[in-house]
Structure 1
Amino acid sequence: MKMNSIKMKKKLEERFHNSEWRTSFNRDKDKFRVEWKESGQGISISIPNVIAKYEVRGEAALDELQYHVSEALKVMNETHELTGQERYIFPVIRATSFPRKTKAGKKLLFSEHTAETRIYYALDLGTSYKLLEEEMLEAEGWTLDRIKEISTFNVRSLENKSKHDQVADNDFYFIASQDGYDASRILNESLLEEMKANSKGELAVAVPHQDVLIFADIQNKTGYDILAQMTMKFFAEGRVPITSLPFIYEDKKLEPVFILAKNRPANDSRKDDEK
């Protein structure tokens, strides 16, 4: 029997029954909400999206949803201190379209990175993490520079095991440890310099989504086309997509590039210069 919104609503009510939570259903927007009774903080779930996943994966899709929503609610209701937790502070890469404030209106802590990406900061909680807010720093008398220094040190300490693949005489390296910080490794300058030193051709780097970092040693024109297709595929499939544009790494700088079929990459300024 085909699943509809009312039936899914009942399933979700069973899944999220908790004496401290309140659930509601917005029929007009087709959204189900779970929130803390005391604070009103919570999460809204798109019913059509859940139904689409349920029809493919069944109860396993609801198991996964229940886990992630429950973890997020738990984090919302906790008070976190930074002092003494320094080794659990990490940078996370997000698209520049990512919100700068929480839904509750609190300003998130971030630094600019490239035209396509921004750096946010997170406190690792084991099974999840909490994005840091400006007021957390103010409460403890910390500075953004201190967070940058600590988080950069921590990301450098992560293991960088990669999988190698060669396609049409171009070398591709994938870091996908699934620790939540794969894309964050793009901030490890020593790793980028090491990859650059060992590359035969031009080094390109891509962070299509949170859980992968791609290095491409481009040695011929075909390599650019392969990288473009690869990055777009990863971007479309990622749970937390970042950018479908790869970067060329040169002189310790990351330059977002548009890959033109059968051509070397070019960005807007280069194309304008050619006109």
Structure 2
Amino acid sequence: MKMTTLKMKKKLDELFINEAWRVSFLRDKDIYRVEWKDTKQGVSIQIPNVITKYEQRGNKALDELQFHVSESLKMMHEEHELDGKEKNIFPVIRATSFPKKTKAGIKLVYSEHTAETNIYYALDLGTTYQLIDEKMLEEQGWTKERLREISIFNLRSLDIDSKKDTVAGNDYYFIATQDGYDASRILNESYLEEMKANALGELVVAVPHQDVLIVADIQNETGYDIIAQMNMKFFAEGRVPITSLPFVYDNKHLEPIFILAKNKPKK
């Protein structure tokens, strides 16, 4: 029997029972909302999407939904301090189109990186992380420069385990540890310099989405086509897409490149 919107609403009512939360249902938009009674901050759930996942995966899909929504609500309601948690601060790469403010209108702390990417800063909370905003920075009396230095220092401590594929005479290295900071490893200059030193051809780097970093030693024209196609595929499939454009790494600088089929890239 097909799951209806009202039946799914009843299931969600059972999942999100909490005296401190308020639930509501926008029938005309098929949106179910769970929010804190005191702050009215909350999460909106698209019921048709939940039904699709439920029909594919059953109760496991609902368990995952309950976990992620509860974690999100918990984060909204917690006061996080930076002091004493220095080791839990990391940089995260996002597209330049990524929001510059929280939903509450507070400015997020970020630094410019390339024409395609910006660097945000995250406080790691274990199962998830919270992006650091200017209010948090001011309350702790931290400067943006201190935040950046600590985050980059912590990033360098992360392992870089790569899987290598050689295709048509070009070497491709994939870093995908699923720790939330795979794309961030593009900020590890010592790693890029090491790869550059060992490259036989031109070093090309890509961050199609949050959970992968691709480093390529491009040794012939075909290599550019392969990295372009590969990057576009990863970009389309990523949970948090960043950019479909790869970068040439040279002289400690990342330059976005437009790759045309059968042609060397245009910078």
Q: CA RMSD in A?
A: 1.2
* Residue 250 (structure 1) aligned with residue 250 (structure 2): yes
For residues 102-160 of structure 1, the C-alpha deviation after alignment (integer angstroms, 9 at most, x for no partner) is: 11111111111111111100100111111001011111111000001000100011100
Distance 1:52 1:203 in 2: 42
C-alpha distance in 2, partners of 1:3/1:248? Answer: 50
Supply the AA of the counterpart residue of 2:253.
K
| Helix, strand or coil at the partner of 2:186 | helix
**Residue aligning to 1:209:** 209
Structure 2 CA distance for aligned equivalents of residues 219 and 21 of structure 1: 57
User: Structure 1: any 5+ residue segments left out of the alignment?
Assistant: 268-275
Measured in 2, the distance between the counterparts of 1:15 and 1:128 equals 20
- The aligned amino acid for 1:89 is I
C-alpha deviation, 1:26, in angstroms: 1.2
Secondary structure class of the residue paired with 2:100: coil
What is the match of residue 196 of structure 1? Answer: 196
Which 10-residue stretch deviates more, 28-37 or 205-214?
28-37
SS at match of 1:111: strand
**1:84–1:227 CA distance, 2 compared to 1 (3 A):** same
Counterpart position of 1:117:
117
Q: CA deviation at 1:211?
A: 0.7
Q: Which residue of 1 aligns with 2:71?
A: 71
Per the alignment, residue 219 of structure 2 pairs with 219
Partner of 2:56: 56
1:168-215, Cα deviation, whole Å (9 max, x unpaired): 111110111111100111111111111111111111111111111110
Tell me if 1:17 matches 2:23: no
Letter in 2 for 1:228: A
Count of aligned pairs: 267
Matches within 5 A, 1:5-44: 5-44=5-44
SS at 2:231 equivalent: helix
Moved more, 26-35 or 96-105: 26-35
> Which one-letter code corresponds to 1:18 in the other structure?
N
Distance across 2 between alignment mates of 1:236 and 1:61:
22
TM-score normalised by the chain length of structure 2: 0.97
- Matches of 2:140 and 2:108, distance apart in 1: 16
Give the share of equivalent positions with the same residue, in percent. Answer: 73
SS in 1 for 2:6: helix
SS at structure 2 position matched to 1:122: strand
**Structure 1 segments of 4+ aligned residues over 6 angstroms from their partners:** none
1:208-231 Cα shifts (integer Å, max 9, x gaps): 111111101111111111111111
The alpha carbon displacement at 1:165 in A equals 0.8
**TM-score, length-normalised on structure 1?**
0.94
CA apart distance, 1:235: 1.1
Q: Secondary structure at the residue paired with 1:136?
A: helix
- Tell me how far apart the structure 2 counterparts of residues 112 and 79 of structure 1 sit (CA, whole Å): 27
